[in-house]
Amino acid sequence: ETTQLKDIVAHAKEYGFVFQSSEIYDGLAAVYDYGPNGVELKNNLKRLWWETMTQLHHDVVGIDAAIFMAPQTWKASGHIDGFNDPMIDNLDSKKRYRADVLLEEKAAEYENAGDPARGAALTAEMGRLLTAEDLAGVRQLIIDEKIQCPVSKTGNWTEVRQFNLMFSTQGSAVDSDAPPVYLRPETAQGIFVNFLNVQKSARMKIPFGIAQIGKAFRNEIVARQFIFRMREFEQMEMQFFVRPGTEGEWYDTWKAARRKFHEAIGLPAEKLRFHDHDKLAHYAKAAVDIEYEFPFGFKEIEGIHSRSDFDLTQHQNLSRKKQQYFDNDVDPATGKPYGNYVPYVVETSVGADRLFLATMCNAFTEETITEGEGDAQQTKTRTFLKLHPAVAPVKAAIFPLVRKDGMPEKAQEIFDALRFDFRLVLEERDAIGKRYTRQDLIGTPFCIVVDGQTLEDDTVTVRHRDSREQTRMPISELRSYIGEAVSF
């Protein structure tokens, strides 16, 4: 039986991973809060990304730019004029849809019905019309394909309009004529406007990258699929500045490096694929998505974009501040330094929330197990999260087998010795089986049990989440054992 998104949503709520925002007021569409286990998992994902970028790559440094930026930023970046989604309304249901999403779903329908060629042709035609900004053509395609409103089952569509996805708010408390400020729709621009600050202050030489993790905001028309598409979300972006002409190699290098990252944190290779863009964003020369196979199909988790010198040139033109780099490496073709140029950029951009959802979907496991022997034998379903130990919210749980004979004190001793290295829980209450189950549900890789033998020889049992096997181990080996498992 395949896992449904609704099972994951329910699990995420029940075990403190993700809550609907302001739930007591019936929530706010496409906005979510992370609970006690969710924030740990998400922080682990962010930390691994950050360390991969700024520690494993010697040529990448980080920044933390503000969410608010000068309004001209978004003029230069093209977001004021071009950051739109094609919107269409159904006249009967008065529901609003993204025209491209309706067509994508139709294409997927053809694919599922065994006609991938027809699906691909539809996707290509949609891409062509959108690139040409032929909105009437997009509407006609929806009508020709006999696409019906998912709610009212009619094909009674309005015209297609462009809808800008940026949220804006009042920019100045004193000047009512001041232009609005926007909540940034991507973190990338905070990196571009700081390009020279970072290059000079950190004495970086091209090629080098700037990494950032931060909130981004988009007024998404279609808000569905849980935390896949949110109005407030978090991005982990890295802009890699290169000499023009070398962007192709760097694009390939980062494509491979980013796929490796997803595999290293536990996403299986067969559930990941590259997907080239049919329609390029206004800034892109080449773009590929890394897609993960969610319960609702293969969908983007990360974008890798070759952005040329688009952004820096735009900022140079609008700000009238040079965004150039002097490259004193010698060009073998001329025998002279490469000199001044506006660098090209290869970007990697992954959503922390989408990566979280992919991680949860991948980890959620239901298996049938048999317990007991003879007449007492019974089968039941065990639910657990098969998280990579590096991202698990709790690395180990420590249980005294019973609450007497000095076992709780010994468990406390082990807890105190390891708490500086790992996030642990110590639990004394309930039967041991129940305590295992609780840890399985949140993905804790190890349960350490203090029993009678522990008091005699300083060994404990370590119960493994995925296999449910138990091994006996000296207490003195726990730190290196857990440490090895949670390293990445």
Q: Return residues touching ligand ATP (CB under 6 A).
A: 218, 220, 229-230, 233, 235, 300-303, 349-351, 353-354
What single string gives the DSSP state of each residue in 399-441? EESSS-TTHHHHHHHHHHHHTTTS-EEE--SS-HHHHHHHHHH
**Looking at beta carbons only, is 216 or 424 nearer to ligand ATP?**
216
Query: Considering just the CA atoms, what is the radius of gyration of the chain in Å?
Result: 26
Q: Where on the phi/psi map is residue 245: left (φ > 0), alpha (ψ -120 to 50), or beta?
A: left
User: In the bound complex, what is the minimum distance in angstroms from residue 197's beta carbon to ligand ATP?
Assistant: 24
Residue 302 CB, nearest approach to ligand ATP (Å): 5
303 phi, psi to nearest 5 deg: -115, 140
The residue among 103 and 301 lying less far from ligand ATP, judged by its C-beta, is: 301
Residue number with CB closer to ligand ATP (185 or 443): 185
Least distance (Å) between residue 229 CB and ligand ATP: 4
Distance between CA atoms of residues 295 and 287, nearest Å: 24
Closest approach, Cβ 185 to ligand ATP, in A, equals 8
Indicate the residue among 145 and 278 with the shorter CB distance to ligand ATP. 278
| Residue closer to ligand ATP, measured from CB, 157 or 283 | 283
The token pair that represents 396 in the structure block:
């180990």
Q: Closest separation between CB of residue 266 and ligand ATP, Å?
A: 17
Q: Hey, is 113 helix, strand or coil?
A: coil
For the CB of residue 315, give the shortest distance to ligand ATP in the complex, in Å.
19
Residue 464 near residue 445 (C-beta atoms within 8 A): yes
Closest CA to 365 of 349, 350, 345, 387: 387
Residue type, 190: G
SS3 content of the chain, % helix, strand, coil (to 5): 40, 30, 35
Of 307 and 410, CB closest to ligand ATP: 307
Query: From the CB of 287, what's the least distance to ligand ATP, in Å?
Result: 8
Task: Report the relative pairing of strands 84-89 and 96-98 from DSSP bridges.
Answer: antiparallel
85 or 125: CB nearest ligand ATP? 85
CB of 220 vs ligand ATP, minimal distance in Å? 5
SS3 210: strand
The neighbour count for residue 154, using CB atoms within 10 Å, is 12
Which is closer to ligand ATP, CB of 300 or CB of 421? 300
Q: Which of helix, strand or coil describes residue 74?
A: helix
What gap in Å lies between CA 64 and CA 213, rounded to an integer? 7
Closest listed residue to residue 98, CA positions, set 150, 144, 164, 160 = 160
Asked if 165 and 85 count as a contact pair (C-beta separation under 8 A), the reply is: yes
Residue 349 CB, shortest distance to ligand ATP, in Å, is 4
Q: How far is the CB of 103 from ligand ATP (least distance, A)?
A: 13
User: Closest approach of Cβ 221 to ligand ATP, in Å?
Assistant: 10
Q: Which CB sits closer to ligand ATP, 98 or 315?
A: 98
Residue 326 tokens, joined: 């002097």
- Give the residue closest to ligand ATP by C-beta: 351
Rank residues 301 and 475 by Cβ distance to ligand ATP and give the closer one. Answer: 301
Considering beta carbons, is residue 359 or 439 the nearer one to ligand ATP? 359
Q: How many CB atoms lie within 10 A of CB 86?
A: 23
Which two tokens mark 449?
């049990």
Least Cα distance to 479 among 428, 414, 413 occurs for 414
Residue 227 CA to residue 33 CA, distance in Å, equals 10
Nearer to ligand ATP, 138 or 350 (CB): 350
Provide the minimum distance between the beta carbon of 357 and ligand ATP in the complex, in angstroms, as a whole number: 9
Q: How far apart are CA 465 and CA 468, in angstroms?
A: 5
The encoded tokens of residue 168 equal: 């804006």
| Helix, strand or coil, per DSSP, at residue 284 | coil
